[in-house]
Amino acid sequence: MNFLRIIILFLISGYVVQPAYSQVSVVLSTKKVVIDGKSYYLHTVKPGETLYSISKAYNILQRDIVFNNPEALDGTIKAGQELKIPVKSEETPAAGQLQSALFIYHIAVQGQTVYWLTQNYNITQEELYKYNPDLEHSPLQAGQVVTIPKKNEAATQPRKPKVAHVAHIVKRGETLFSISKSYNADLNEVLELNPEIDAKKPNLRIGQEIKIPLPDAAPISLPVATSKTDTVIIRKDLQTPANADEHSDTPSQQVSVADDASGCVETSQKDFRIALFLPLYLAENSPASAPDTSLVKDSEGRFRYRDGRYWIYPRSANALEFLQGALLAIDSLKKQGLNAEIHVFDTMRDTVKMAQLLKSPAMKDMDLMIGPFATELVNQVTPFARENRIFCVSPTAVNASSLKNNPYLMQVNAGEINTVNPMVEHIAKQKNTHITLIGNKRDFDQSLYNAYLNKLKTVFADSSFTTLRMHPDSLLDPVKYLKKGVMNAIIVPSADEAFATIVTAKLNTSTHHYNVNLYGLASWTKIAGLDLEYLHTLEFRYAAAHYIDYDSQPVQHFLQRYRKNYFTEPTMNTGYGTVSPNPYHFAFLGYDITCYFVSALKKYGKDFGRCIPDFRLPTLQSDFLFNRIDGGGGFMNTHFEIYKYGKDYSIVKEN
C-alpha cells in the first residue's frame, strides 16, 4: 500500500525530469518480451539517456515507464540498467479495413498456423514475431488479428501459399482413400503432395508418414486419435536415432523368463499398440503459461529462469519423468525386436478429458494401457479395459475395490497396508523379542495401526506385545514400556513427520540400557527433520517394493543414458511437497513398468495375464511379483523387501 501511495503522489505532482543538457540520440530496442500477457520492449540505458529522452523516443509518458520500473521512481536511471517499455498498440485500421499504409491486418481462421502465415505472406518467422510478440509464446487463435508488414506492393495481397499440410502416420487397416476422407482432403492433392506413392497401386505400410494438405483458410477437423495423442512408431527395421544410446543393453534390460505357467504359449503377434495415459498438462507447459515469459531461452529454444533453472509446470514433473524413463525402455526393447505404436495421451487428470479419450474408436485397438495415475481416472478406465479385454497397468493409484471387480487391472503400487504381513512375519522370525505397537492418536486414518494390531493378535499371544497410543505433544515416554534382557521390536505405523521424529528421538536415548529395533514406514527415509544417525542406532527397518542400488552396473548404465538424453538427473517423488507413503523415482518407475509389461506383451500377446504370476524380469527399482486378488479379480504387486539401517551406517536388504 505504501508503494502504491508513493506512485500515486508521484503522478499527481506532475513530477518530470526535464533535460538539463542536450539529449543523446536514443536507439529504439527491437527486443520484445511478454510479461503477464502484456508486451514490452527491453531497453538498455545508454550513457547520457534520461527518462525524458527515452519516453520521447518511444512516444510514451514518463509515468508509464516509472510505473513498470519502480526502481526509477526517483527519476534517476543508470547506464546499463534494463527498462521495461510498454509496447503501444499498432495503428488500428478503420472498421472493416484490412490494410494501412505500412501493414496488412490478417484475421486468422481456425486451422491456420504461424507457418501458414509465413508461407502465405512471404515473411520470415522472425519478422512475424517482431510485430506480433505474442505469437512466439502462444498458438495462433481463430479471430486473432495479426500484423503483417508490407514489403512491397506485391505483398499487399496474399500470394498463393505453398500447400500447408500435416503429417499422418499410417495405422493398421488404413488406406489412402480412408485417410483422405478422414481429413476431408482431395485424393489427387494427397497424391500430388506425396510423389513417392504410386497412384496406380497406392500401397501403404504401417508407420509410413504421408503429407495431408490442409484446406486453404478454412476450418479443419483432424481425426480424434491424431489430435489427442503423440504417436511414436517403434520398429526393429528402423535405424536408431543419432542421440540414442550407443552402448549395448545391459543384462538388466534383457528379458529373463522363468518356466512358463501351464497354458502359456508364445504369441505369433508381431505388431502392438500401446497407450500411455499421463498427466502431462501440455497446455500449462506452453510458454504462454509460464509465470513470466521474459524467461531467457537456451540454444535449443527451451525457456529457463535467469538463474539457469528450466521452467516446467510443477504438476506435470512426475509424469514427464515417467515418460522419459518409458522412452528409454522402448529404445531398449526396440533393439530386442519390438514393433509397436506408442500412443501418449495427456489426461490432465481430468475426468471429462479421460471420458473423451475413451470414446476414440482407436482406443479399442490398443493391446496394452499404461496409466492413468489418478484413482478417479483408473475407475473410469477399468470398465473400458474389462469390456475390451485390454490389460490396464496402474502405476501409482491404490484402489482395492477396482481390483476386486476387474480381472484386467494390474496394480503396481500395493500401498502401505500390504507391508503389514511381511513386517510382522519378519519380526516373528526373531527370537526372544517383545513387541510394542505405538499408534499416533492424531492420525485421521487408523487403518494401518488396526491392520498391525489384528496381525499381531493372529501371530502372537497377547503377552508377547504391548500396545500404546499417544499424541505427538504428549509427555508419555515410550521408553517406559521397554524391557531389559530381550530385543524390543518397536512398530510405529504412522506417516506423521512430527510424530516419527519425536518417537525416534525418545527411543534413541534408551539404546544404552535396552536393545531396540525400530520398525517404521519407507516414507521416513525422506523426512528432512529425522536424524539419520538415530535410524542407524535403532537399526531401523521398513518394507518397500522400491529400492535403487546405485552401485549396481545396470543402474549406473541407466543413469548414463538418462543424462545423455535429457541432460538432468532423475528426481525423487515426494508427493507434491509431502512425504510420499512409498517414495520412488518416476523415471525408474516408467522404465521398469514399460520394460516389464511390454516384454510380457511381446512374448505372450495381448492376453498375457495368465502368465504374469510366473513372468520374471530384472528391474532397476521395483521388483514385481503379481498375484490375482480374490480369485477372479485383478493383479496386485505383492513383492516387498525388508531394508535395514545398520549401526555401521549401511543400508542392506534382509531376506
For 185-215, the DSSP string reads: --HHHHHHH-TTS-SSS----TT-EEEEEPP
Question: Same structural domain for residues 335 and 402?
Answer: yes
Q: What is the pLDDT of residues 572-616, one digit of tens each?
A: 654 433 333 445 689 999 999 999 999 999 999 998 988 998 898
Q: What is the pLDDT of residues 392-414, one digit of tens each?
A: 999 886 666 778 778 899 998 87
Q: Give the C-alpha separation, 39 to 33, whole Å.
A: 6
Q: Give the C-alpha separation, 581 to 544, whole Å.
A: 10
639 in Cβ contact with 417 (< 8 Å)? no
Q: What is the pLDDT of residues 47-104, one digit of tens each?
A: 888 888 888 888 888 878 887 887 776 677 888 888 888 887 543 333 333 455 577 7
Q: What is the pLDDT of residues 328-340, one digit of tens each?
A: 999 999 988 899 9
Q: Give the C-alpha separation, 616 to 256, whole Å.
A: 6
Report pLDDT for 322: 93
Q: Of the candidates 544, 560, 592, which is a domain's last residue?
A: 544
Report pLDDT for 357: 92
Report pLDDT for 330: 93
Report pLDDT for 525: 83
Report pLDDT for 239: 36
Of 177 and 279, more confident: 279
Of the candidates 561, 583, 556, the one whose C-alpha atom is nearest the C-alpha of residue 572 is 583
Question: Same structural domain for residues 604 and 465?
Answer: no
Question: Same structural domain for residues 408 and 277?
Answer: yes
- Report the percent of the chain where pLDDT is more than 70: 72
Question: Same structural domain for residues 424 and 525?
Answer: yes
- Expressed as residue numbers, the domain containing 430 is 417-544
CA torsion, points 83, 89, 90, 91, in degrees to nearest 10?
Answer: -130
230 in any annotated domain:
no
216 in any annotated domain:
yes
Average pLDDT over residues 526-540: 86
Query: What is the domain-level CATH number for residue 181?
Result: 3.10.350.10
Question: Same structural domain for residues 195 and 139?
Answer: no
Question: Same structural domain for residues 255 and 392?
Answer: yes
407 in Cβ contact with 628 (< 8 Å)? yes
Report pLDDT for 59: 82
Q: Give the C-alpha separation, 497 to 536, whole Å.
A: 18
201 in any annotated domain:
yes
Question: Same structural domain for residues 422 and 450?
Answer: yes
Domains identified in the chain, total number: 5
Question: Same structural domain for residues 269 and 409?
Answer: yes
306 in any annotated domain:
no
98 in any annotated domain:
no
Q: Of the candidates 129, 156, 183, which is a domain's last residue?
A: 156
Query: What is the domain-level CATH number for residue 259?
Result: 3.40.50.2300
Whether the predicted pLDDT of 540 surpasses 90:
yes
Question: Same structural domain for residues 277 and 391?
Answer: yes
C-alpha cell at 648: 555401521
Q: Of the candidates 112, 132, 156, which is a domain's last residue?
A: 156
Neighbours of 483 (CB within 10 A): 13
Question: Same structural domain for residues 455 and 504?
Answer: yes
Q: Which residues contact 388 (CB under 8 A, 6 or more apart)?
A: 363, 364
pTM, 2 dp = 0.58
pLDDT tier, 487 (very low <50, low <70, confident <90, very high otherwise): very high
Question: Same structural domain for residues 495 and 464?
Answer: yes
Report pLDDT for 590: 94
Q: Give the C-alpha separation, 206 to 173, whole Å.
A: 8
Q: Give the C-alpha separation, 527 to 504, whole Å.
A: 12
Q: List Cα–Cα distances, 514 to 62, 136, 434, 481, 487, in angstroms.
A: 76, 67, 12, 11, 8
pLDDT tier, 175 (very low <50, low <70, confident <90, very high otherwise): confident
Whether the predicted pLDDT of 183 surpasses 70:
no
Question: Same structural domain for residues 427 and 516?
Answer: yes
**CB burial readout 111-144, b (16+ within 10 A) else e:** bbebebbbbbbebeeeebebbbbbbbbeebeeeb
234 in any annotated domain:
no
Whether the predicted pLDDT of 480 surpasses 80:
yes
127 in any annotated domain:
yes
275 in any annotated domain:
yes
- Report the percent of the chain where pLDDT is more than 90: 20
CA atoms within 13 A on the CB side of 392: 31
